[in-house]
Structure 1
Amino acid sequence: MQLETYISDLLYRYECVTIPEFGSFLTQSVSATIDDSSNAFYPPKKMLSFNEQIQKNDGLLAHYISDVEQISFENANQKIAKRVAVLKSNLALGETITFKNIGELVFNTEGKIMFEPSYQINYLTDAFGLSQFVSPAITRETYVEQVEAIEKVVPLTITKEKRKNRSYLKYAAVAVVALTISGFIGSNFYANEIEQHNQMAQQEATKQLDNKIQQATFSLNPLPAAKLTVTKQTGNYHIVAGAFRVEENCDTKVAELKALGYSARKIGVNKYGLHQVVYASYEDRLDALKALRTIKKEQNKEAWLLVQALD
């Protein structure tokens, strides 16, 4: 009996899953965190822990096994008891018990069970599709420009007699002013020419576009209306295939699953803004669990069951 598979399924929906006469796996939701030392981003998740003091049979695990394997509640409890006996025996021999996707259990020097959780699966369904990633630190470089201004001041002394011989300076100053004015007028004229050219080009482009639209206009004979029969899916049990930030990827996934024969569809956006795609929806919980086990085995190990009433 794959006990860890049943426990893993229940951890998505419950905060405590008890193995009678052995202990309980507990979950606690934690917010997203950032490790400043490694620049790693960790999405929100359920933190796993184990408490061997909680051993009273609450019936949750046995009822789930009974539903999945189609056996009686008593037979399910007997199977659990046999597995617990083997687990305790292995721990007493110093072995490490590994529950896939959950963690490892081992006795410490004091004979107490120590638990090391696995970080391969995030059991918080609201964070489905979010994964850990490392973002490199942003470094900013400052470029300092050093400008050395060297001004050489050469005094110019003009005597009264020399000023008579250098009257050309006056005309040079007038010429500089004239060139400045003419350059300003010329630049304005050039800018106006560019503006007129742009307007004419835009008008011509608009005219050509109108002509092409008129030439492309044609009439179509009305086609007979096609009648399609669409079967609307119902049910509150949905097998989730994935969640996507970009809706185009969501549509691509739906098309791929439909090509494989599934009744795939989109069921909306969760509170993290991710578009969710499901293999199918079911009215009956047992039918959904059977389909989930088949999909996990043959198609997608990361598929999970969402219990939610859709609008």
Structure 2
Amino acid sequence: MQLETYISDLLYRYECVTIPEFGSFITHRVSASINETTHTFYPPKKAVSFNEQIQHTDGLLAHYIADLEKIPFEVAAKKIAKRVSTLKLFLLQGKTVTFNNIGELRYNSEGKILFEPTYKLNYLTDAFGLSPFEAPAIIREMHKKKVEQLEQVIPLNITPEKRKSRPYFKYAAVAVIAMTIGGFSASNYYTNKIETYNELAQEEATKQLDTKIQQATFSLNPLPAITLNVTKQSGNYHIIAGAFRVEENCNKTITQLRKAGFNARHIGKNKYGLYQVAYGSYESGKEALKAIREIRKTHNKNAWLLVKKLD
């Protein structure tokens, strides 16, 4: 009789399987884990242990054998008792008893049974089909260096987006229209218009950044100069052309924009440490909306509006 086969079957469904007058195999759930040294992910499982103190039969094993072999319960119980006598004899002789797919049993120097489980089977049915796997470590600093190298060649137009995998790319539009700007008042109509434009810019940037990260989304190819009434370089409405990690790229962009007819300027760093370049700054929301419509139409469709009081 292959006793270990029957025990193995029952371990999938029960937490305790008792061999009368011998001991019990007990399972408990173990959560999924990660080996940080080998970067190996292990699924949840049932860990198996053996307790020789629990020997009182509950009839589970005998009933299962009787049902499978189509024999009376008493006959199944006698078969188990006979196998137990053989197991104890092997252990007294100093031999190791092996239960396939469960583990090995042997006596220690004090005459107690030692159990060494095997890990060939996962008795947790919830984890069926799952197996350990290795994944290489993510070295984020390497990605950062690659981006900086890319920006040396092609300036990146970092617009507001929601990017989870690379936090140093995050650049959100500051659109807090509700705050009070000292000495400045604007009508609710223009405030709502500006907020709408900021939201549209953020949505558009989120869709485009993933597909355009390997190429410049802000291109300063020779284009016909456009004439805008942007003589003022003060105000809290700023049309943003791009943001750059390297200050040299920021300065180059300002020079190119000025050659194209814009009153471009550097408006400082944002909270992510990126240098921001503006096409221009405006005193009123009406002027800013008129200018950004023209810029998006003729020069850079990714331009967006930043509402902020500069220091």
Which TM-score tier does this pair reach, normalised by the shorter chain? 0.3 to 0.5
Max Rg structure: 1
